[in-house]
Chain A
Amino acid sequence: MQPISRIESRTLVMPSTNIDTDQIIPARFLTTTTKEGLGKQAFADWRYDANGAPKADFVLNQPSSAGCEILVAGRNFGCGSSREHAPWALLDYGFKAVISTEIADIFRSNSLKNGLLPVVVDDTTHRWLLDNPGAKVVIDLQSNRLTLPTGVAVAFPIEAFARFCLLNGTDELGYLLQQEDAIARHESSHV
């Protein structure tokens, strides 16, 4: 995983609430055995028509969306299935962060483990972002702040250890493997 400390990008806005992981990546694409190449299938059923041609009215297909690395979504983004293919697809598409007022638990956990930054903001900030698609915003993980082009900066919560891993580009498995002695002790006393 590449270290992340600062993301500066225009936003792409999907105002729908409760965007579930079946929309982010439909189940028929989950028969893969690798993580790669899922970006072209991100939001497939909203993005392509029955013949596989891009739907012009879907936000991902609009020219202004090219290069946007920050997805602003309606409340409760990433609900439903635990498929990690959802953050894999979003990252492969080119997103580096998702902003909403609520982000579902399993999706958030999966995102943090892959370097997709889940950013939860207050209603006022969210409203501003929904009303201003394409706004250039800065997400600074060093200071845990999101800065709008208006100069307004808001703090966002992030779990301390996940933040450490993102800033340093390390994954959790190494840390868990280092707990071997404690795990063995637990096994001999509890199980």
Chain B
Amino acid sequence: MAAGMMPGRAFLHGSSKHTMNAKTLFEKVWEQHQVVPETGDTPAVLYIDLHLIHEVTSPQAFSLLRSKGLKVRRTDRTLATMDHSTPTDPDEVFGRVPIKVESAAQQVKELEKNCREFGVELLGLDSNQRGIVHIIGPELGATQPGKTIVCGDSHTATHGAFGALAFGIGTTEVGQVLATQCLLQRRPKTMAVEVSGTLGNGVTAKDLILAIIGQIGVSGGTGYVIEYRGPAIEALSMDERMTICNMSIEAGARAGMIAPDATTFAYLQGRPKAPQGADWDRAVARWSQLKTDPGARFDHVVHIGADELQPMITYGTHPGMVVPIDGRVPIRAGDEVHAKSLSYMGLTAGEALLGKPIQVVFVGSCTNGRLSDLQLAARVLKGHKVARGVRVLIVPGSQQIKREAEALGLAKIFTDAGAEWRESGCSMCIGMNGDLVDKGQYSVSTSNRNFEGRQGKGARTLLVSPATAAAAAITGRVTDPRDFLNAGKTSTGAVVHS
């Protein structure tokens, strides 16, 4: 591999000089996938290793193929599932009653038809491997270091947690990848987000990424691929790394990456679509090269300290409108956009968020619907009851996670507390599958977007970690999760793995 052929690149002792051959993780993956390099007149032709498909952004792409008489070029590199518009009610999922959202039922049928006609593997409603597309890719071991991965969904950045270059695309591009396994791309700029220190008790990866977005802003990452680095990142589990990379797009960056390491390899080993036997050893040797070389240059570098972070909560209508849980809604006199956002949220500048009554709690989504997220929520909820009048919806990210959560007794903790426990899907993260927050209601949610109407028309979303969501479920108010976690005993990260 190219990285192995760089003579003495890393060992210019004590020198900060950038060596010619020192490359970032992104540059290594990019260069290995250039079919044709970019020129002034034309973008690079970039090869795509894995194309994930779902029901909402693919129908028009299959129609295009059909109209042009084209085939899916590499069905072996294409994997379909259904998650966005699908119901989470078991009776609807398993066909005992019709899917309530009629157009969604139509989309499900259309994807089944398209996959049959074009020979694409589909993990459909009856599959025990189905789930949110960004959760099942890693779960099956299809997501691997150094791959280029695309999907018609902006949270495709999730897969970057494995050192893949993964980004969301539009439906026209879905058609291009189906037909050619390639995309036309200009090389993005690179940004390093260096996270020092250690996350405190009750402070999770979700709080860290919300703090990062708060710092760089919702468009700060536009035009960039972010690499998350530093001791606080290296200490994260794969589930936590996925939470971080998942929300890169909320800072404007199409992709976020974390260098693969022993944690990555341990996660992947033995998964159904991961390499096996001698192939596994060769893969690990290859993947181990996928690190940013010492001396490699980023176009932009951001520093953030993990030690001082608190649990975070959003108060506005984009994920950059975020404060520590004990913070107040910022006062921005004369800022009309800020005022409009607060008006939608029914909040007053200067108001404290702690203690604010809430009506809905949602734990799930491609951001926080993995097993460790559910374990964390269960740890807070265990032995408690959901506050009267609060609706709590807990939705596993995949059918496999559902089975694991049930086997571990988590589902029982949730239902004993009075929460609803569902089949997997995007659910209440996106108001298009029947799981909705009513107008004017406050929803404490582990999802990724607090945009106006995202969880339902007029819904008011407060983005938080699974611990903070579970704490709010118990009290019916915005609550510091550390009130329910044994302070000083062990870090959230350790609990997640226990």
Interface residues of A (CB under 8 A from B): 15-18, 20, 22-23, 26-28, 30-35, 45, 74-76, 79-84, 102, 104-106, 109-110, 113-114, 159-161, 164, 171-173, 175-177, 179-180, 182-183, 185-187, 190-191
Contact = CB atoms under 8 A, between A and B. Distances in A.
B472 to A, nearest CB: 23
Given A31-B101, A45-B453, A179-B35, A82 B60 contact: no
Nearest to B40: A160
A46 B82 CA distance: 29
Interface in B446-470: 449, 451-454, 457
A186 B457 contact: no
B103 A31 contact: yes
Contact of A84 (B171, B249, B432, B454): B171
A105 B222 contact: yes
B36 interface: yes
Interface of B: 32-33, 35-36, 40-43, 45, 47, 49, 56-57, 59-60, 63-64, 68, 84-85, 101, 103-104, 106-107, 110, 152-154, 168-173, 175-176, 179-184, 186, 218-219, 222-223, 249-250, 252, 254, 318, 336-337, 340, 430-432, 449, 451-454, 457
Given A20-B451, A105-B254, A183-B182, A26 B431 contact: yes
Contact of A33 (B106, B152, B452): B106
A109 B176 contact: no
A34 B56 CA distance: 10
**Which 5 pairs show the lowest CB-CB distances between chains A and B?**
A31-B103, A110-B170, A84-B170, A33-B59, A82-B168
Which of A45, A82, A176, A185 is the most central at the interface, judged by chain B CB atoms within 10 Å of its CB?
Answer: A82
B154 A113 contact: no
Given A22-B449, A109-B170, A176-B45, A27 B60 contact: no
Contact of A161 (B43, B47, B103, B250): B43
A107 to B, nearest CB: 8
22 contacts: A15-B337, A20-B318, A22-B451, A22-B453, A23-B452, A23-B453, A27-B454, A31-B101, A76-B222, A82-B169, A83-B56, A109-B170, A172-B176, A173-B68, A176-B176, A176-B183, A179-B45, A180-B180, A182-B35, A183-B35, A187-B47, A190-B33
Contacts of A190: 32-33, 47
A179 B152 contact: no
A113 B172 contact: yes
Given A33-B63, A187-B181, 10 more contacts: A27-B431, A27-B454, A31-B107, A83-B56, A84-B172, A104-B252, A106-B169, A172-B172, A190-B32, A191-B49
A26 B454 CA distance: 8
Given A31-B103, A31-B106, A179-B45, A173 B175 contact: yes
A22 B454 contact: yes
Given A82-B57, A82-B152, A160 B45 contact: no
Contacts of B252: 76, 79, 104-105
B97 to A, nearest CB: 18
Contact of B57 (A26, A84, A172): A84
Contacts of A172: 172, 176, 184
Contacts of B42: 160-161, 175
Contact of B180 (A35, A82, A177): A177
Which of A102, A104, A185 is the most central at the interface, judged by chain B CB atoms within 10 Å of its CB?
Answer: A104
Nearest to A32: B103
A27 B172 contact: no
A160 B41 CA distance: 5
Given A179-B182, A191-B47, A82 B154 contact: yes
B242 to A, nearest CB: 18
B432 A31 contact: yes
A38 B169 CA distance: 20
